[in-house]
Amino acid sequence: MSLSGYNFVVLTIFSIFLTQAYGLPDVEPIDDVQPEETLRIHNEIRAAVGVAPLVWNETVADYAQNFADEQAEAGVCSYDQMRHSDGPYGENIAAGWVQPTDQMSGPIATKYWLTEKPNYDHETNQCKDTCGHYTQIVANQSTALGCGSFRCHDNELIYIVCDYYPMPLGDANTRPY
């Protein structure tokens, strides 16, 4: 998979050079979110472990887009400034640079979160390293999805925010499926 850390870094450096040379036009958030494809990939990932599909929810999507807009207005523009909205939903966030392939978007963010799947052991319900983005995707307590996005660095850094309703609740013994 070309989402491995190494390729990402190589392509990132390449794209910074390119985009600084030519500049980038404004992009509508929805074009980075790609709702249909983002939902389709979520549901493919859920089906693979026998979990019912999510539906796209405009209320949830508006919430995610509002949070994204707030972050943009606040000038959030680096990986270490990424934070959660701490709202009523489950939430996954990803960011990545504009680049020639695998450019950050709703679908690419979803595939990136999926790379955590091998970290999750369903038998023990334990996670090595990070698996919370993956377990949110497959959480059977969530039935609806909505995502938003914003760009910064002259449209070169793309943030994707996906929110999940209802937020999965429980303790360490609660399984996503």
Ligand X SMILES: *[C@@H]1O[C@H](CO)[C@@H](O)[C@H](O)[C@H]1NC(C)=O
Q: Which chain residues interact with ligand X by CB under 6 A?
A: 55, 57, 59-60, 140, 143-144, 165, 175, 177
Nearer to ligand X, 12 or 87 (CB): 87
> Considering just the CA atoms, what is the radius of gyration of the chain in Å?
16
Nearer to ligand X, 33 or 144 (CB): 144
**Shortest separation between residue 78's beta carbon and ligand X, angstroms:** 30
Nearer to ligand X, 84 or 175 (CB): 175
Nearer to ligand X, 50 or 100 (CB): 50
**Shortest separation between residue 158's beta carbon and ligand X, angstroms:** 25
For tokens 């449209």, the residue is 155
**Shortest separation between residue 163's beta carbon and ligand X, angstroms:** 9
Strands 90-97 and 55-56: unpaired
CA dihedral (107, 109, 113, 115) in degrees, to 10, reads: 80
Q: What are phi and psi of 120, to 5 degrees?
A: -100, 125
Strands 90-97 and 120-121: unpaired
**Shortest separation between residue 9's beta carbon and ligand X, angstroms:** 37
List residues bridging with 147 in a β-sheet.
162
For tokens 């404004």, the residue is 26
